[in-house]
Amino acid sequence: MNIYFQGTNQRTFGTFPLTGAELRDAMMVAAEVGYRSFDTAQMYGNEAETGDAVAELGLARDTLCITTKVHPDNYTEAAFLPSVEESLSKLKLDYADILLLHWPPIGGDIALPLKLLQQAQEKGLARNVGVSNFTAQMMRDAAKLVDVSLVTNQIEFHPLLNQDVLLAAAAETGIPLSSYCSVARGEVFKHPVFGEIGEGYGKTAAQVVLRWILQKGVSINTMSTKRANIEANFDVMDFTISSVDMARIDAMTQTGFRIVTEDLVPWAPEWD
Protein backbone atom coordinates (compact mmCIF):
# COMPACT_ATOMS: atom_id res chain seq x y z
CA MET A 1 0.00 0.00 0.00
CA ASN A 2 1.17 3.55 -0.74
CA ILE A 3 3.03 4.86 2.32
CA TYR A 4 0.84 7.97 2.61
CA PHE A 5 -2.19 5.71 3.07
CA GLN A 6 -0.62 3.48 5.76
CA GLY A 7 -1.31 3.93 9.48
CA THR A 8 -2.02 7.56 10.25
CA ASN A 9 0.16 8.87 7.41
CA GLN A 10 -2.83 10.18 5.48
CA ARG A 11 -2.55 13.05 7.96
CA THR A 12 0.93 14.56 7.81
CA PHE A 13 2.10 17.40 10.02
CA GLY A 14 3.82 20.09 7.94
CA THR A 15 6.71 22.06 9.40
CA PHE A 16 6.82 25.12 7.13
CA PRO A 17 7.44 27.92 8.17
CA LEU A 18 8.18 26.82 11.72
CA THR A 19 11.58 26.99 13.36
CA GLY A 20 13.05 26.97 16.87
CA ALA A 21 10.87 26.43 19.92
CA GLU A 22 7.69 26.96 17.92
CA LEU A 23 8.59 24.02 15.65
CA ARG A 24 9.68 21.82 18.55
CA ASP A 25 6.57 22.52 20.60
CA ALA A 26 4.20 22.01 17.67
CA MET A 27 5.84 18.68 16.78
CA MET A 28 5.60 17.49 20.41
CA VAL A 29 1.88 18.27 20.47
CA ALA A 30 1.37 16.72 17.03
CA ALA A 31 3.04 13.47 18.09
CA GLU A 32 1.04 13.42 21.33
CA VAL A 33 -2.16 13.82 19.32
CA GLY A 34 -1.13 10.90 17.08
CA TYR A 35 0.74 12.27 14.08
CA ARG A 36 3.61 10.05 12.93
CA SER A 37 4.17 11.60 9.51
CA PHE A 38 6.15 14.86 9.34
CA ASP A 39 6.98 16.96 6.30
CA THR A 40 10.06 19.15 5.89
CA ALA A 41 12.30 20.35 3.03
CA GLN A 42 15.78 21.62 2.33
CA MET A 43 14.15 24.92 1.32
CA TYR A 44 12.51 25.35 4.76
CA GLY A 45 15.88 25.60 6.53
CA ASN A 46 14.48 23.58 9.45
CA GLU A 47 15.64 20.01 8.78
CA ALA A 48 18.12 20.08 11.68
CA GLU A 49 15.46 21.33 14.12
CA THR A 50 12.98 18.80 12.75
CA GLY A 51 15.62 16.11 13.35
CA ASP A 52 16.14 17.34 16.92
CA ALA A 53 12.40 17.10 17.58
CA VAL A 54 12.15 13.65 16.00
CA ALA A 55 15.04 12.46 18.18
CA GLU A 56 13.40 13.97 21.28
CA LEU A 57 10.19 12.10 20.52
CA GLY A 58 12.11 8.84 20.91
CA LEU A 59 9.60 6.90 18.82
CA ALA A 60 10.52 3.66 17.07
CA ARG A 61 11.96 4.50 13.65
CA ASP A 62 9.58 2.19 11.80
CA THR A 63 6.56 4.00 13.24
CA LEU A 64 7.69 7.33 11.77
CA CYS A 65 7.23 8.68 8.26
CA ILE A 66 9.58 11.53 7.47
CA THR A 67 9.34 13.40 4.18
CA THR A 68 11.95 15.83 2.95
CA LYS A 69 12.35 17.56 -0.40
CA VAL A 70 15.33 18.40 -2.56
CA HIS A 71 15.88 22.07 -3.42
CA PRO A 72 15.89 22.70 -7.21
CA ASP A 73 19.34 24.32 -6.89
CA ASN A 74 20.61 20.81 -6.14
CA TYR A 75 19.29 19.22 -9.35
CA THR A 76 22.79 18.52 -10.72
CA GLU A 77 24.89 15.35 -10.87
CA ALA A 78 27.38 16.95 -8.48
CA ALA A 79 24.98 18.35 -5.88
CA PHE A 80 21.94 16.07 -5.68
CA LEU A 81 23.12 13.04 -3.69
CA PRO A 82 25.42 15.05 -1.36
CA SER A 83 22.49 17.36 -0.60
CA VAL A 84 20.33 14.37 0.35
CA GLU A 85 23.12 13.01 2.56
CA GLU A 86 23.33 16.44 4.22
CA SER A 87 19.55 16.43 4.76
CA LEU A 88 19.77 13.02 6.41
CA SER A 89 22.63 14.17 8.59
CA LYS A 90 20.58 17.17 9.73
CA LEU A 91 17.55 14.96 10.29
CA LYS A 92 19.75 12.44 12.14
CA LEU A 93 18.28 9.65 10.03
CA ASP A 94 19.81 6.88 7.94
CA TYR A 95 17.07 7.22 5.33
CA ALA A 96 14.10 9.40 4.48
CA ASP A 97 10.80 7.59 4.29
CA ILE A 98 9.87 9.83 1.38
CA LEU A 99 12.11 12.05 -0.74
CA LEU A 100 10.47 14.52 -3.11
CA LEU A 101 11.61 16.86 -5.85
CA HIS A 102 10.30 20.09 -4.30
CA TRP A 103 9.60 21.91 -7.58
CA PRO A 104 10.00 21.06 -11.24
CA PRO A 105 13.31 22.40 -12.52
CA ILE A 106 13.18 25.86 -14.04
CA GLY A 107 12.99 25.28 -17.77
CA GLY A 108 11.00 22.11 -17.18
CA ASP A 109 13.43 19.27 -18.08
CA ILE A 110 12.42 16.80 -15.43
CA ALA A 111 14.52 13.86 -16.70
CA LEU A 112 17.76 14.62 -14.82
CA PRO A 113 16.28 15.29 -11.35
CA LEU A 114 14.07 12.21 -11.70
CA LYS A 115 17.10 10.08 -12.57
CA LEU A 116 18.97 11.47 -9.54
CA LEU A 117 15.92 10.90 -7.33
CA GLN A 118 15.82 7.28 -8.42
CA GLN A 119 19.55 6.96 -7.68
CA ALA A 120 18.95 8.29 -4.16
CA GLN A 121 16.37 5.56 -3.64
CA GLU A 122 18.65 2.87 -5.11
CA LYS A 123 21.43 3.98 -2.74
CA GLY A 124 19.07 3.52 0.20
CA LEU A 125 18.88 7.21 1.08
CA ALA A 126 15.10 7.14 0.65
CA ARG A 127 12.57 4.33 0.98
CA ASN A 128 10.06 6.09 -1.30
CA VAL A 129 10.28 8.91 -3.80
CA GLY A 130 7.89 11.37 -5.34
CA VAL A 131 7.43 14.85 -6.69
CA SER A 132 5.82 18.14 -5.74
CA ASN A 133 4.30 20.96 -7.74
CA PHE A 134 4.27 18.92 -10.94
CA THR A 135 1.72 19.71 -13.65
CA ALA A 136 -0.50 17.00 -15.19
CA GLN A 137 1.78 16.67 -18.23
CA MET A 138 4.85 16.43 -15.98
CA MET A 139 3.10 13.66 -14.01
CA ARG A 140 2.48 11.72 -17.23
CA ASP A 141 6.07 12.25 -18.39
CA ALA A 142 7.50 11.37 -14.96
CA ALA A 143 5.55 8.11 -14.76
CA LYS A 144 7.22 7.04 -18.03
CA LEU A 145 10.72 8.27 -17.11
CA VAL A 146 11.19 6.33 -13.86
CA ASP A 147 11.18 2.58 -13.15
CA VAL A 148 9.92 3.07 -9.59
CA SER A 149 6.51 4.14 -8.27
CA LEU A 150 6.23 7.81 -7.46
CA VAL A 151 4.30 7.85 -4.19
CA THR A 152 2.91 11.36 -4.50
CA ASN A 153 2.66 14.68 -6.25
CA GLN A 154 2.36 17.14 -3.33
CA ILE A 155 0.44 20.17 -4.53
CA GLU A 156 -1.75 23.05 -3.38
CA PHE A 157 -5.14 21.44 -2.79
CA HIS A 158 -8.13 22.89 -0.95
CA PRO A 159 -11.80 23.57 -1.73
CA LEU A 160 -11.18 27.06 -3.11
CA LEU A 161 -8.93 25.81 -5.94
CA ASN A 162 -10.11 23.55 -8.75
CA GLN A 163 -7.58 20.76 -9.26
CA ASP A 164 -9.71 18.42 -11.42
CA VAL A 165 -6.99 18.27 -14.09
CA LEU A 166 -4.47 16.97 -11.55
CA LEU A 167 -7.01 14.55 -10.05
CA ALA A 168 -7.54 13.11 -13.54
CA ALA A 169 -3.75 12.86 -14.03
CA ALA A 170 -3.45 11.08 -10.68
CA ALA A 171 -6.02 8.50 -11.76
CA GLU A 172 -4.34 8.10 -15.15
CA THR A 173 -0.74 7.78 -13.89
CA GLY A 174 -1.32 6.07 -10.54
CA ILE A 175 0.60 8.88 -8.78
CA PRO A 176 -1.64 9.96 -5.87
CA LEU A 177 -1.87 13.60 -4.81
CA SER A 178 -1.17 15.03 -1.37
CA SER A 179 -2.34 18.45 -0.29
CA TYR A 180 -0.57 21.53 0.98
CA CYS A 181 -2.25 24.77 1.99
CA SER A 182 -5.05 22.38 2.96
CA VAL A 183 -7.06 25.11 4.75
CA ALA A 184 -5.79 27.68 2.22
CA ARG A 185 -3.83 29.29 5.08
CA GLY A 186 -7.13 30.33 6.67
CA GLU A 187 -8.90 31.61 3.52
CA VAL A 188 -11.50 28.83 3.74
CA PHE A 189 -12.78 30.32 6.99
CA LYS A 190 -14.09 33.36 5.10
CA HIS A 191 -16.76 31.07 3.59
CA PRO A 192 -19.60 30.09 5.97
CA VAL A 193 -20.56 27.01 3.92
CA PHE A 194 -17.90 24.79 5.53
CA GLY A 195 -19.09 25.61 9.05
CA GLU A 196 -22.72 25.14 8.00
CA ILE A 197 -21.97 21.69 6.58
CA GLY A 198 -19.94 20.86 9.71
CA GLU A 199 -22.95 21.48 11.95
CA GLY A 200 -24.62 18.43 10.39
CA TYR A 201 -21.70 16.20 11.44
CA GLY A 202 -20.71 17.86 14.73
CA LYS A 203 -17.45 18.98 13.08
CA THR A 204 -15.71 22.31 12.50
CA ALA A 205 -15.20 24.08 9.17
CA ALA A 206 -11.54 22.98 9.11
CA GLN A 207 -12.49 19.36 9.72
CA VAL A 208 -15.01 19.46 6.86
CA VAL A 209 -12.38 20.93 4.53
CA LEU A 210 -9.81 18.26 5.47
CA ARG A 211 -12.34 15.44 5.23
CA TRP A 212 -13.39 16.66 1.76
CA ILE A 213 -9.71 16.47 0.71
CA LEU A 214 -9.39 12.91 2.02
CA GLN A 215 -12.60 11.86 0.27
CA LYS A 216 -11.13 13.18 -2.99
CA GLY A 217 -8.46 10.47 -2.49
CA VAL A 218 -5.81 13.01 -1.50
CA SER A 219 -3.65 12.66 1.62
CA ILE A 220 -3.27 15.83 3.69
CA ASN A 221 -0.50 18.06 5.05
CA THR A 222 -1.56 20.54 7.69
CA MET A 223 0.39 22.86 9.92
CA SER A 224 -0.71 24.56 13.10
CA THR A 225 0.95 26.02 16.16
CA LYS A 226 -2.18 25.65 18.33
CA ARG A 227 -3.07 22.50 20.23
CA ALA A 228 -6.80 22.81 19.54
CA ASN A 229 -6.21 23.13 15.80
CA ILE A 230 -3.61 20.32 15.74
CA GLU A 231 -6.13 18.06 17.52
CA ALA A 232 -9.00 19.09 15.25
CA ASN A 233 -6.95 18.54 12.09
CA PHE A 234 -6.10 15.00 13.20
CA ASP A 235 -9.66 14.17 14.26
CA VAL A 236 -11.14 13.74 10.79
CA MET A 237 -11.50 9.99 10.40
CA ASP A 238 -14.79 9.34 12.23
CA PHE A 239 -17.27 10.86 9.80
CA THR A 240 -18.11 10.73 6.11
CA ILE A 241 -19.28 13.72 4.10
CA SER A 242 -22.35 12.80 2.06
CA SER A 243 -22.23 12.95 -1.74
CA VAL A 244 -24.64 15.91 -1.62
CA ASP A 245 -22.34 17.87 0.71
CA MET A 246 -19.27 16.80 -1.31
CA ALA A 247 -20.96 18.33 -4.37
CA ARG A 248 -21.73 21.55 -2.45
CA ILE A 249 -18.02 21.83 -1.61
CA ASP A 250 -16.97 20.89 -5.16
CA ALA A 251 -19.02 23.88 -6.31
CA MET A 252 -16.77 26.19 -4.24
CA THR A 253 -13.66 25.37 -6.30
CA GLN A 254 -12.40 28.01 -8.71
CA THR A 255 -9.76 27.89 -11.41
CA GLY A 256 -6.60 29.72 -10.43
CA PHE A 257 -7.43 30.66 -6.82
CA ARG A 258 -3.92 30.11 -5.44
CA ILE A 259 -2.35 30.80 -2.07
CA VAL A 260 1.11 30.01 -3.42
CA THR A 261 1.04 32.64 -6.15
CA GLU A 262 3.64 33.57 -8.75
CA ASP A 263 4.69 36.47 -6.49
CA LEU A 264 5.68 33.97 -3.79
CA VAL A 265 7.23 31.42 -6.16
CA PRO A 266 8.36 33.02 -9.44
CA TRP A 267 9.90 29.64 -10.36
CA ALA A 268 6.48 27.92 -10.45
CA PRO A 269 5.54 26.09 -13.67
CA GLU A 270 2.61 27.18 -15.82
CA TRP A 271 -0.20 25.62 -13.81
CA ASP A 272 -2.98 23.54 -15.35
Residue selected from 70, 233, 252, 258 as contacting ligand NAP according to rule CB under 6 A: 233
Region of 8-16, 134-142, 194-202, 235-243 interacting with ligand NAP (CB under 6 A):
8-16
Q: How far, in Å, CA of 110 to CA of 120, rounded?
A: 16
Q: Quick check: is 180 catalytic?
A: no
* Contacts of ligand NAP in 51-110 (CB under 6 A): none
Nearer to ligand NAP among residue 122 and residue 237 (C-beta): 237
Query: Contacting ligand NAP (CB under 6 A), which of 183, 236, 241, 252?
Result: 183
Select from 199, 167, 151 the least CA-distant residue to 12.
151
- CA contacts within 13 A on the Cβ side of 254: 7
Asked if 132 contacts 113 with a C-beta cutoff of 8 angstroms, the reply is no
CA 208, CA 198: separation in Å to the nearest integer? 6
- Least distance (Å) from ligand NAP to the CB of residue 209? 9
CB of 99 to ligand NAP, least distance (A): 13
Q: Does 226 bind ligand NAP (CB under 6 A)?
A: yes
Q: Which of 10, 37, 163, 224 binds ligand NAP (CB under 6 A)?
A: 224
Residue nearest to ligand NAP (CB): 14
How buried is residue 254: exposed, middle or buried, by Cβ count under 10 Å (0-12/13-18/19+)? exposed
Chain centre to alpha carbon of residue 68: 10
Member of 180, 194, 234, 271 binding ligand NAP (CB under 6 A): 180
82 burial level (CB within 10 Å; 0-12, 13-18, 19+): exposed
What is the rounded distance in angstroms from the CA atom of residue 20 to the CA atom of residue 46? 8
User: What are the residue numbers of the active site?
Assistant: 44
Residues at the contact surface with ligand NAP, assessed by CB under 6 A: 14-16, 39, 132-133, 154, 180-186, 206, 221-226, 229, 232-233, 260
